[in-house]
């Protein structure tokens, strides 16, 4: 069998494969060349440079597995690979330490003004008084996103004598206490922190979550760090805030556009440190991810089971029954997670109807995946979702009931955050998944885009105000319905939205008289 190793895979990973397979090493390969040669290979190893798009996969006549030497698989069309029966694997933990340490390095460099001090020293200057820094000891670090990297940064910050505030919808008191972190709301974290670091995925909900309105509420001595995803901190606003003294400084490793344009607003701003996406760029991390993926490819080509992100282990008979429900289950998990307020403590999944005749555990995992994926910094898949839920002490209960009422098959998902329960139900109409109930309101929602869920007073004028606000902000509504419940005077509006909704518009939306709340659910981030 033949393996194509592209994008500069570490030699240690290559050596694992050479005894048993023919390995063709192409450190730099164009898309056109990849299209031309891919039919002859049984396995493909890539980092981030090569784009394994649908047209590449279509031509991959012999390809059995694609390995991404890293965490994200944004450069791989996973859906196309799945449709063709090609396994996709990655290395979710291989660069955790590297990203954690780079975040800490950026924080220290920012606090002590190391880059500019070095630059002026190299130019022959001696400016001890000019580059007086600040200590980490006794300061408060706000960590937005308490996944593996966020938790790792928190532990190291505590060793420096810092108090750590953590914001994460999926961390509870027990988990936070084990790390030494105090749970905070996002507002509390923004207002109280001396340093703030973000470790969230980039979604419609997190894009620009730190912008000028948030920066104006921070201490003017605050310093911001982003080694997660470009765009979580609004780059234009950050440049302006540092220039005007609203924010003391920033250290940024990731950008909305990479490579970074020459005229980018963050360039040449005093007190802003920039690095070219170096979070995972250590010798150890590059070896680690390459070895992880090489071992996975070797196992797969030898017919052994592997932890693929797209092909869970399940019997063919069960898969035929449950496969139409997998996306629906993920979307239901995403929906209840978006509704929930506070740390989720319990998840209950109930299956009704014919579907209960097969093993439904994979569907429960799909619910967990959908619940966690939008808020996790790393990719959540069918392999690691249960473990991540366990880390966060989320109790998962699965119940099967073969009785039926309104629908021949029904999935009910409930989460509790202590004293509150949030729920959603879904079924299939033909082969299409539909959400048919949200928090007790009967609806009929096609969960393939982004939706806005709005409980409101049932009175004239509410819908008109909603349409005017969104239309005025050039946000198109492609579908709308109102679900009713037994609670008198209360309805649920569900809007299908074509465009992202900025946080400021969402806040204005919630302030409309008669609107109780508004929760955005972006199914594209699953």
Q: How far apart are CA 260 and CA 258, in angstroms?
A: 5
- 3-class secondary structure, 22: strand
Q: How far apart are CA 207 and CA 254, in angstroms?
A: 13
Q: How far apart are CA 218 and CA 212, in angstroms?
A: 10
Catalytic one of 26, 112, 277, 490? 277
Catalytic one of 258, 284, 354, 432? 258
CA 264 to chain centre: 25
Q: Which residue has the tokens 């109280």?
A: 192
Closest CA to 23 of 293, 226, 314, 400: 293
Closest CA to 335 of 415, 409, 431: 415
Strands 272-274 and 249-252: parallel
Q: What's 327-391 look like in SS3?
A: HHHHHHHHHHHHHCCCCCCEEEEEEEEHHHHCCCHHHHHHHHHHHHHHHCCCCCCCCCHHHHHHH
Catalytic one of 229, 334, 434, 450? 229
Would residue 229 show up in a list of annotated catalytic residues for this protein? yes
For 291-330, the DSSP string reads HHHHHHHHHHHTT-----SS-----HHHHHHHGGGHHHHH
- Where does residue 484 rank: exposed (0-12), middle (13-18), buried (19+ CB within 10 A)? middle
Q: How far apart are CA 288 and CA 297, in angstroms?
A: 14
Q: How far apart are CA 199 and CA 164, in angstroms?
A: 14
Would residue 277 show up in a list of annotated catalytic residues for this protein? yes
Closest CA to 106 of 278, 222, 242: 278
Asked if 322 and 353 count as a contact pair (C-beta separation under 8 A), the reply is no
Strands 441-445 and 450-457: unpaired
- List of residues 6+ apart from 103 with CB closer than 8 A: 149, 153, 197, 199, 225, 227, 279
- Count of other CB atoms within 10 angstroms of residue 8: 16
Q: For the chain, percent helix, then strand, then coil, each to nearest 5? A: 35, 25, 40
Strands 421-429 and 409-416: antiparallel
Strand-pair partners of 347: 396, 415
Closest CA to 346 of 438, 407, 417: 417
Q: How far apart are CA 266 and CA 244, in angstroms?
A: 13
The residues assigned a catalytic role are 229, 258, 277
């Amino acid at each position: 069998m033949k393996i194509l190793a592209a994008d500069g895979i570490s030699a240690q990973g290559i050596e694992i494969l050479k005894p048993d397979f023919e390995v063709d090493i192409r450190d730099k390969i164009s898309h056109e060349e990849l299209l031309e040669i891919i039919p002859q290979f049984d396995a493909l190893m890539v980092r981030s440079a090569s784009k394994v798009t649908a047209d590449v996969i279509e031509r991959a006549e012999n390809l059995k597995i694609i390995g991404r030497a890293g965490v994200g698989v944004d450069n791989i069309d996973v859906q196309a690979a799945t449709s063709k029966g090609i396994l996709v694997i990655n290395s979710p933990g291989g660069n955790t330490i590297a990203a954690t340490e780079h975040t800490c390095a950026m924080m220290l460099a920012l606090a002590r003004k190391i880059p500019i001090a070095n630059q002026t020293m190299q130019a022959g200057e001696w400016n001890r008084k000019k580059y007086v820094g600040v200590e980490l000891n006794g300061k408060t670090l706000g960590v937005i996103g308490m996944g593996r990297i966020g938790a790792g940064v928190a532990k190291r910050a505590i060793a420096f004598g810092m108090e750590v505030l953590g914001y994460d919808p999926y961390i509870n008191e027990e988990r936070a206490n084990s790390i030494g972190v105090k749970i905070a709301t996002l507002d509390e974290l923004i207002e109280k922190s001396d340093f703030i670091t973000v470790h969230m995925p980039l979604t419609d909900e997190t894009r620009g979550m730190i912008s000028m309105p948030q920066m104006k509420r921070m201490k003017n001595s605050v310093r911001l760090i982003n080694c997660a995803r470009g765009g979580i901190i609004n780059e234009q606003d950050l440049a302006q805030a540092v220039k005007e003294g609203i924010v003391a400084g920033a250290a940024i490793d990731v950008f909305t556009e990479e490579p970074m344009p020459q005229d980018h607003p963050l360039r040449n701003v005093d007190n802003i440190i920039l690095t070219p996406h170096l979070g995972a760029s250590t010798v150890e991390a590059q070896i680690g991810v390459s070895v992880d993926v090489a071992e996975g490819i070797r196992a797969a080509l030898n017919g052994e089971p592997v932890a693929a992100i797209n092909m869970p282990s399940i019997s063919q008979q069960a898969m035929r029954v449950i496969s139409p429900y997998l996306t629906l289950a993920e979307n239901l998990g995403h929906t209840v997670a978006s509704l929930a307020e506070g740390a989720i403590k319990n998840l209950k999944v109930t299956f009704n109807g014919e579907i209960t005749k097969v093993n439904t555990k994979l569907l429960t995992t799909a619910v967990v995946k959908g619940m966690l994926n939008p808020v996790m910094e790393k990719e959540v898949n069918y392999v690691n979702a249960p473990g991540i839920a366990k880390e966060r002490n989320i109790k998962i209960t699965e119940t099967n009931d073969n009785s039926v009422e309104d629908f021949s098959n029904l999935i009910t998902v409930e989460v509790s955050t202590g004293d509150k329960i949030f729920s959603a139900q879904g079924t299939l109409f033909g082969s299409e998944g539909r959400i048919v109930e949200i928090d007790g309101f009967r609806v009929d929602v096609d969960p393939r885009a982004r939706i806005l869920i709005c409980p409101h007073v049932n009175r004239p004028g509410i819908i008109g105000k909603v349409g005017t606000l969104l239309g005025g902000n050039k946000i198109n509504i492609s579908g709308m319905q109102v679900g009713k419940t037994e609670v008198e005077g209360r309805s649920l509006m569900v809007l299908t939205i074509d465009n992202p909704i900025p946080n400021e518009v969402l806040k204005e939306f919630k302030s409309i008289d008669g609107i109780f709340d508004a929760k955005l659910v972006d199914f594209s981030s699953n």
